[in-house]
Structure 1
Amino acid sequence: METIFKEKQKFTQWWLWLFLIGLGIFQVYGLFSQLIKDVPFGNKPMSDMGLIFFTLIPFGLIAFFWYMKLETEIDEKEIRITFIPLTKKTLKWDEIKSAAIIEYKFVGYGVRLFTSYGTVYNTKGKTGLAVELNSGEKILIGTQKAEELTKNIEKHHKNKFVI
């Protein structure tokens, strides 16, 4: 099946990376201070093994956010949403009641459940494809390519697309 739309999004917010890298640097400083300089880190220092383990957490988060991405693929038969490494969902066009490009209020990032928009898949921004299924379930997929997405859905699935 020919793909009519494809988008890959990653977390590129400068403030997120500044926070994660800053947290990592702070932890490395504590590790260096306690293990190399032999100066306890903090008022109530952890054991050396505890500090080593605690230092790995920010680097695990950095790796997690580096690897994480939202992929959206649309073809004649379905919409595929993959939020690596969290979830994968397929929506068949015959299950879709309507689809529309909307601007939404901030709902957070990642996979958000139980919002007024239904389940939200978002990495940044405030524009997305709002899908309502025949069952009444709502799904919102964030996009950075709203114009291209609109053009392709109007061309191939005009009967489902709400302007």
Structure 2
Amino acid sequence: MKQAFTEVQKFNQWWLWILLLAVLGIPVYGMFQQLILGEPFGNNPMSDPGLILFFIGTLLIIGLFWYLELRTELDQAGIRVRLRPISSEVFTWDQIEQVEIITYGFVGYGLRFSRKYGTVYNANGNKGLAITLKSGSQYVIGTQNPEGLKQTLLGLKKSGTELNLAGI
């Protein structure tokens, strides 16, 4: 089925990438000093294989952040959210009590659990789609395109689902 709305967000905050690259600099400098110059790195130096493993581990963490992606899809069947490779949820319209576009305070990035908002999927910013299920469970999916989301929701309006779209 063709999606009426698709949004893909990456974790591309400049400060995050500066931090990750700064952390990568530690094993790079350590390997240069210890393996190339032959001088121990620090007062209690790590073994050469340990330093190489530290470098590889840091590269893997950076690769994970590069791979992370928040994908939101809406169509006639419902709402799907996926935080690749960590989690995914599917909400069919018959499960949904209410949807609302909201502006929220900082809750962190990634997959978060909040007393106020329930399960939060957030990659950037402070606008999101708040979903309340008939079971009482709550979710917020962050968005960088609240206006496009609003227009899609109006076009997909389902009977029995309350829309509150004044929050933009």
Superposition TM-score, scaled by structure 2 size: 0.93
Any idea what the Cα deviations from partners look like across 1:42-89, whole Å, max 9, x if unmatched? 111111111111122221111001011000000011111111111111
How many residues get paired?
Answer: 163
Q: Counterpart of 1:43 in 2: which secondary structure?
A: coil
Alignment correspondent of 2:98: 98
Alignment correspondent of 1:139: 139
Q: Percent identity?
A: 45
Q: What is the Cα-based RMSD across aligned positions, in Å?
A: 1.2
How far residue 22 of structure 1 moved from its aligned partner, in angstroms, is 1.4
Any idea what the Cα deviations from partners look like across 1:10-64, whole Å, max 9, x if unmatched? 0110000001111112210111111111111111111111111112222111100
- For residues 10-159 of structure 1, the aligned pairs below 5 Å read 10-157=10-157, 159=161
Q: Which contiguous aligned blocks of 4+ residues in structure 1 show a shift greater than 6 angstroms?
A: none
Q: Determine the C-alpha separation between the residues in 1 that align with 2:140 and 2:70.
A: 12
Matched-pair contact (CA < 8 Å) for 1:72–1:80 = yes
1:96 is aligned with what amino acid?
I
Matched-pair contact (CA < 8 Å) for 1:103–1:128 = yes
Unaligned stretches of 5+ in structure 2? none
Q: Counterpart of 2:162 in 1: which secondary structure?
A: coil
Q: Counterpart of 2:163 in 1: which secondary structure?
A: coil
Matched-pair contact (CA < 8 Å) for 2:96–2:131 = yes
Q: Determine the C-alpha separation between the residues in 1 that align with 2:68 and 2:60.
A: 12
Q: Determine the C-alpha separation between the residues in 1 that align with 2:53 and 2:8.
A: 33
Matched-pair contact (CA < 8 Å) for 2:122–2:142 = yes
Matched-pair contact (CA < 8 Å) for 2:107–2:114 = no
1:137 is aligned with what amino acid?
S
Superposition TM-score, scaled by structure 1 size: 0.96
Q: Determine the C-alpha separation between the residues in 1 that align with 2:64 and 2:140.
A: 23
Matched-pair contact (CA < 8 Å) for 1:111–1:122 = yes
Matched-pair contact (CA < 8 Å) for 1:3–1:75 = yes
